[in-house]
Every structure is written in C-alpha cells, then in structure tokens.
Chain A
C-alpha cells in the first residue's frame, strides 16, 4: 500500500513536471526552423537565418508574443530536402516547438511542407517562390514572396512598351527557373511579343557557346534568362565573347547580388535583374530594418534576409491577432490578413498563395542597382537600348 502510494506520488510529480510549462505558459514561445546553413544554399540560407534572428530580437524588445518571450530553434539541413524532412519531424515531435517557420528554397520547402501538413502546423515559408508547392491542397502553408512566374514580368512589360518584337527565353532546368521561364513565355505572348527561341540547360552548366550561337543567329530583341548566379555570370561573359547583342537582357536570380557586379565589373552594365526586394524600395519600416540589420550583423541585408524577417513578422502578426498559438486559429487569421511590411504587401488566397507582393526590376547603372520597374517604385529611368558590346 505504502509502495503503491509512493509510486503514485512519483508518477504524479513526473507528470506534473512534464506538463508544467505547457499549463503554466511561463516559458518562451519556441519557433523551430531548419535552414541551409551549409551546402550549396549556405549563403542564402544564412541570410534568411539573420532575418529570423533580427525578428526574434525585435519581437522580444517589444515585449514578446502573447506576453511570452520568443526563441528560435534552428537546425542546419545542409541544403538537402531529406535532411530538412527529418529536422522538421524532430522539431515538432521531439523538441515540441510551439510554431515553425519555413526553410530556404522551393525544393526544401516542398519536402518539409509534407511534415508540417501531417502535424497540422502552420508554416509561413518566406523563401519558396514556386507556385506548384502551394497548389497541392496544403492547408497550413503560407507564401510571402512573389511567385517564380512573375520574375520577368518587368522585363517583358518594358520591352512591350518600347515596341520590341522578339524574345529568346533560356533557363536552368530546375523547379524555380523552369517556372520563371514558363511565366516569361506566357507574359511575352500575352503582350504580343514573339518568343523566337527557348532552351533549358542543366544545372551546373557553364558553357553556353552552342546555345548562344543559336540565339545569335535569331538576333532577338530581348534575352530573358531564368538563372541562378554561376550561370548568369557565364552566360553574360559568353554573350560578350560571342558578341551577342540583344536590346535588352535580363536575368532572374543572382543578378541582384553585389558579387554579380564585382565579378563582371563594367560588363554588368545595362543588365536587368528581377528582385523581390531592394533596400531602396520605399516601404514602411525600411530604414529602421536596414539600420538595425547593419548594426547587428555588420553587412547589408539581401532580399533573403528581408523576406526571412518579413515572414517572421507576418507569422507573429497572425499569432497576435489570433490571440493563440493554435494552428487552426492562426491559419484563419493568416488567410484573412492584409498587411504591408518593409518587404512589401502581404495577402494570400485560400491556398496560402501570395497575391499582393510585387516584384521589381532593376538595371545595373554605373555600378549601382536602380529600380526601373514598376513605375511607382522606380528610382531611375531605363538606359535603353543596351548598346552592343563593341560600342561600349
């Protein structure tokens, strides 16, 4: 009898101890995420991580969330989707985090979203831009940045307004770039431009001689390239080498990095690039964000940093308005939420697919990125047309 009582007491204490933080709501709100801190997306994933860290700091400076401190639990998925799957499982089932935030990139999000859906966890995924991820009936996934299909809209729009007629579209054969290229083709046709050539090349390709030889023979007015960094650099260098002279040439990803200009120097002049966000865009809270970021990390934020920060702000707003961490309640609020952060507008449809955020188009002018599209955000006029390589 006494033994039974003692066991009962011990069990009781253990149960009480393990449920105490949940019942008492005393501990911090823990938000889990897996990020690409090493591997091929390391640089971009680390920028996103800094966005999360700054958001955590700013939330806590304003008294936290629902009166509790906020704490990020971040693991490294080495840029590998299967690792991210394992880490989200661990975050949700072992670490029992209160909420999750998205990883870096479309492929990793695509994989990780299966886990968060399984456990019905709301996941704001600030760096997934591929439409298909959000069109699979997932209920708890939210998009922050503009979809891949819209990346080259600015380039096509300017080309159409300037009366250009023909466009060649080239892309890396990966999820995001394919979608961006398909979007460009679609938009070009809609605007009456003729798509004279389209070709995909494999990831890691750095020799574009044959592709550009074909493009050159068609002499298109516009070359729209759905790229990452390495291929954008190689493509540009070889365009110069083979003297390929479109009147406009634009890239998707990579062209916005400072390294793009450092690498290509004056050869990057006149090149257009699509961007989700630029520090110069006149959004509310932009200056405060830039100052705080530079002070905290000692360098300028990239759009990955800004999207990470904004995604976290959106999630926090959802929790605040729902007044709860409950997934279904937060989901309801996020579906209805319309807000503007330093990253731009946020509003999603019933699938969590982003509708309001706008892409911008910049052009490299005298070593600086100047926003040239859309008109209401533009900080400079386009330098049009792009002169031929021999006339620079």
Chain B
C-alpha cells in the first residue's frame, strides 16, 4: 500500500495536470465570457460541450471526418445553436435578477440532456483515434490529451487576440465593463450578446470535440464540465478572462497532484477546499474579478 513517490512520477502528473488544465481553461473561458458580458451564469455550458462531442462523433461516423478537422465545423454548429438560444431564450433574463438566469439555464440544461437522450439514445459512443502516447524520457504524453492541449491553447490564444485586437472583441469587453457606456458609444448591445453567447457555445463545442476522443460520449457527460468551469472561473476571478486561463491550469495541477499524494477520491475535495480558501483570502479570485 505504500507508494514511494519519485520525481519522475511527480513530473508525470504535472504533465497530465497541465494537459488537462488547458482544456479546462478553454471551456471555462466560454462560461467567463457569458458571465462577464451578461452577468448570466450558464448552467447549460456543460451540455453544450456534450452536443459538441456528438457533433464531432456524427461527423466522424457519417463522413469519416478526422475528429480534429471537425473542430471548426463543430464550433460553427455550436455558435449557431448558442446564438439561437440567446435570441430565443436567454435575452429575456439578461436584466433580470441572477436567480432567473440560473433557473432558465438550469432548465435549458435539463432540456438539452433529455433531448440528447431521446435523439441519440443513451448508447455509449466513442471515437477511437490517436490512442497511445509519445514518450520523453520517463514521461508519457498521451496523444489525444496532447493534441487537445495544443488545440485548446491555440483556440484560447485566438480568443484572447480576438478580444484584445478586433473591434468586435473590444466592443464585447466594453459591454462587459459597462453596458450603458457601451450603448452610448454606439455599440449594438443585443448583437454583442448574441455573438458572445455564440462564441461561448463554440468554445464549449470545441471542448466537446476534443474530449470526444478522450472519454466515452453520452448525454450526461457534460454536467461535470459545468462544475469544473465554475470552479475555474471562481478560482481565476469571475469575469476576468486571463483568470480563466490561470484557474484552468491550477485546477488541472491541483487535481493531479492531490490524486498522486492522496487519492483520486480526495482530489475533488482538495479542489473545492482550495476554492473555499481562495474565496476567504481573495473573494474576487486570484486575478481579481469584476466588481459589481
């Protein structure tokens, strides 16, 4: 029962933690965007990821499309779905108290999961692609997780560039800082909301495409991602976009290192204890969130 932990073992879990963390960061960035811009907490974020995984799966099954090549297509599909959700449902709760948006997105979440169950059945599906790993000395880099890391890092980088450099991105950040001032400056806030929700859903969709080659695909695979994304953005600072990146990597590392020194079972507890500690010490998250 006594495991001697060697530096190589620690190195291995640090690698695994960083690989997982980039994916957490990308998915959580979507949640952070919606929260930042609309003050809406999107419980349906995880189920959107699940739909992304199914999109990739069906493209793979029907057309034999490489799951990584389908990432852009999956993102487009989810962008459209996200915009549709915003247009038909979510816009109604943007100005409402936060409980309303929680209830609405909770409802959407249940509806999406059950619709997926009806449409796709609960049959477990998976894409067998890029199994095995690359080795570097004593370290193993899982192929599927390494590619997911690279794609997630690239997409997160692109999302930041988009937010920092483009006019649209600036308009999104402006809306997030102050809706009224943005409106006065001629920003079409409704359109910004639509695009924000679309981009957030697309990021979740990309996450789905990437995890579809890592884990089994089933209608309930998404919920755990809603929780993880929450944890990430609260750790990093809600509404603070670079904070999502830091929070993601941190969560990945904490989970893995806690699993190594304690047990996999306790690693979740450690992650949430860390959350409580950070909320006590820095209630706005590590990088500081937006003040309300």
Q: Are A243 and B117 in contact (CB under 8 A)?
A: no
Q: Are B263 and A217 in contact (CB under 8 A)?
A: no
B119: Cβ under 8 A from any A Cβ: no
Q: Are A207 and B20 in contact (CB under 8 A)?
A: yes
In the bound assembly, the distance between CA atoms of A24 and B177 in angstroms comes to 77
Q: Are A229 and B124 in contact (CB under 8 A)?
A: yes
Please, how many residues of chain A have a CB less than 8 angstroms from a CB on the other chain?
Answer: 44
B136: Cβ under 8 A from any A Cβ: no
Please, how many residues of chain B have a CB less than 8 angstroms from a CB on the other chain?
Answer: 45
Chain B residues in 8 Å Cβ range of A205: 264
Q: Are A197 and B264 in contact (CB under 8 A)?
A: no
B89: Cβ under 8 A from any A Cβ: no
Per-residue B-contact encoding for A283-313, CB less than 8 Å = 1, 0 else: 0000000000000000000000000000000
Chain B residues in 8 Å Cβ range of A43: 121-124
In the bound assembly, the distance between CA atoms of A138 and B214 in angstroms comes to 43
Which residue in chain A gives the minimum CB-CB distance to B1? A197
Task: Please report which residues of chain B, range 232-282, place their CB below 8 angstroms from some CB of chain A when the two chains form the complex.
Answer: 255-257, 259-260, 263-265, 267-268
In the bound assembly, the distance between CA atoms of A243 and B141 in angstroms comes to 11
Q: Are A200 and B265 in contact (CB under 8 A)?
A: yes
Which residue in chain B gives the minimum CB-CB distance to A243? B140
Which residue in chain A gives the minimum CB-CB distance to B211? A206
B56: Cβ under 8 A from any A Cβ: no
In the complex, identify which listed stretch (A7-15, A143-151, A263-271) lies at the interface while the others stay far away: A263-271
Q: Are A210 and B215 in contact (CB under 8 A)?
A: no
Q: Are B12 and A209 in contact (CB under 8 A)?
A: yes
Known contacts A209-B13, A238-B142; is A201 also within 8 Å of B264 by CB? Answer: yes
Task: Please report which residues of chain A, range 217-260, place their CB below 8 angstroms from some CB of chain B when the two chains form the complex.
Answer: 217-218, 229-230, 233-234, 237-238, 240-243, 257, 259
Known contacts A38-B114, A197-B3, A202-B265; is A217 also within 8 Å of B216 by CB? Answer: no
Q: Are B264 and A208 in contact (CB under 8 A)?
A: yes
Q: Are B124 and A200 in contact (CB under 8 A)?
A: no
Task: Please report which residues of chain B, range 100-136, place their CB below 8 angstroms from some CB of chain A when the two chains form the complex.
Answer: 114, 117, 121-126, 128, 131-133, 135
Chain A residues in 8 Å Cβ range of B132: 240-241, 389
Which residue in chain A gives the minimum CB-CB distance to B257? A210
Q: Are B256 and A210 in contact (CB under 8 A)?
A: yes
Chain B residues in 8 Å Cβ range of A207: 16, 20, 255-256
Instruction: Name B267's contact: one of A196, A210, A230, A243 (CB within 8 Å).
Output: A210
In the bound assembly, the distance between CA atoms of A312 and B12 in angstroms comes to 51
Instruction: Name A213's contact: one of B9, B123, B124, B224 (CB within 8 Å).
Output: B9
Instruction: Name B9's contact: one of A199, A214, A241 (CB within 8 Å).
Output: A214
Per-residue A-contact encoding for B211-223, CB less than 8 Å = 1, 0 else: 0001110101100
B184: Cβ under 8 A from any A Cβ: no
B4 shortest CB reach to chain A, Å: 7
Q: Which of B20, B143, B255, B259 has the most CB of A within 10 A?
A: B259
Q: Are A242 and B140 in contact (CB under 8 A)?
A: yes
Q: Are A259 and B220 in contact (CB under 8 A)?
A: no
Q: Majority SS of interface residues in chain B?
A: mixed
Instruction: Name B224's contact: one of A40, A199, A204, A210 (CB within 8 Å).
Output: A204
Chain B residues in 8 Å Cβ range of A229: 124, 216
In the bound assembly, the distance between CA atoms of A25 and B258 in angstroms comes to 64
Known contacts A209-B12, A241-B142, A264-B128; is A199 also within 8 Å of B265 by CB? Answer: yes
Task: Please report which residues of chain A, range 35-78, place their CB below 8 angstroms from some CB of chain B when the two chains form the complex.
Answer: 38-40, 42-43
Chain B residues in 8 Å Cβ range of A211: 259, 263-264
Q: Are A199 and B263 in contact (CB under 8 A)?
A: yes
Per-residue A-contact encoding for B147-179, CB less than 8 Å = 1, 0 else: 000000000000000000000000000000000
Chain A residues in 8 Å Cβ range of B4: 217
Q: Are B264 and A199 in contact (CB under 8 A)?
A: yes
Q: Are A257 and B1 in contact (CB under 8 A)?
A: no
Q: Are A198 and B1 in contact (CB under 8 A)?
A: yes
B214 shortest CB reach to chain A, Å: 7
Instruction: Name B265's contact: one of A173, A218, A241, A263 (CB within 8 Å).
Output: A173
Chain A residues in 8 Å Cβ range of B140: 241-243
In the bound assembly, the distance between CA atoms of A153 and B192 in angstroms comes to 60
In the bound assembly, the distance between CA atoms of A217 and B255 in angstroms comes to 19
B88: Cβ under 8 A from any A Cβ: no
In the bound assembly, the distance between CA atoms of A265 and B4 in angstroms comes to 34
Task: Please report which residues of chain A, range 146-204, place their CB below 8 angstroms from some CB of chain B when the two chains form the complex.
Answer: 173, 195-202, 204
A301 shortest CB reach to chain B, Å: 15
Q: Are A213 and B264 in contact (CB under 8 A)?
A: no
B291: Cβ under 8 A from any A Cβ: no
B6: Cβ under 8 A from any A Cβ: yes
In the bound assembly, the distance between CA atoms of A371 and B127 in angstroms comes to 27
Which residue in chain B gives the minimum CB-CB distance to A170? B264
In the bound assembly, the distance between CA atoms of A233 and B135 in angstroms comes to 21
In the bound assembly, the distance between CA atoms of A217 and B214 in angstroms comes to 24
Given contacts A238-B142, A262-B126, 10 further A-B contacts (CB under 8 A): A42-B122, A43-B123, A196-B1, A201-B265, A206-B215, A210-B257, A211-B264, A213-B13, A214-B260, A241-B133
Between A and B, 14 residue pairs with Cβ closer than 8 Å are: A43-B124, A200-B264, A201-B264, A207-B16, A210-B16, A210-B257, A213-B260, A233-B215, A240-B131, A240-B133, A241-B140, A243-B133, A263-B125, A264-B126
